[in-house]
Amino acid sequence: MPFLLSIILSMFLLSPHPMMKILILLKTMIILLTLMSMSLKSSWMSMMFCLVMISSLMIIFLYFTSLTKQIKIKTQNKSIITFKLIFILLVMKIYKLEISQIFINLKDSISLNIFSNSNMNILFFLLMILMLVSLLIMIEMISNMKSSFRINN
């Protein structure tokens, strides 16, 4: 799975339009949250992250729609095909799990002991990286000399 995330990150860095970057962040968030809910016994933590990330992406989306003019977004067929392949791999991983594996140790999920699971540490780390990358991109776009936060004299 880290290989797939590195592919997504490279697509993110190579996308020229800010709206495409937001869409790539949204797709990456969905993939990470699906992995997180699969590795946890319950999905309440992934839902909390989903709400936080979607609200932040909505704010970023509103900001960019107010700044960008009616510029046509050029979609790249490579990125569409790559995301379709990633989702196919993810669905294959989901179907590989059996129903009995999902509902095993339901009592453990109620205890909410999420930090003892080593798989979850990796997912938390990946989510933190995703949030850091989105923060860095916002800082880069705001620090531009032609942004709306700069006063032209």
> Hey, where are the domains in the chain?
2-68+75-142
> Which distant-in-sequence residues (6+ apart) come within 8 Å of 110 by Cβ?
42
Question: Looking at the predicted structure, is the pLDDT value of residue 107 above 50?
Answer: no
Q: What is the mean pLDDT of residues 135-145?
A: 71
pLDDT value, residue 147: 56
Question: Looking at the predicted structure, is the pLDDT value of residue 132 above 50?
Answer: yes
Q: Give me the amino acid identity at 76.
A: Q
Query: What is the pTM for the complete model shown?
Result: 0.48
- Per the model's pLDDT, the better-predicted residue between 150 and 89 turns out to be 89
> Which distant-in-sequence residues (6+ apart) come within 8 Å of 117 by Cβ?
39, 40
pLDDT value, residue 4: 64
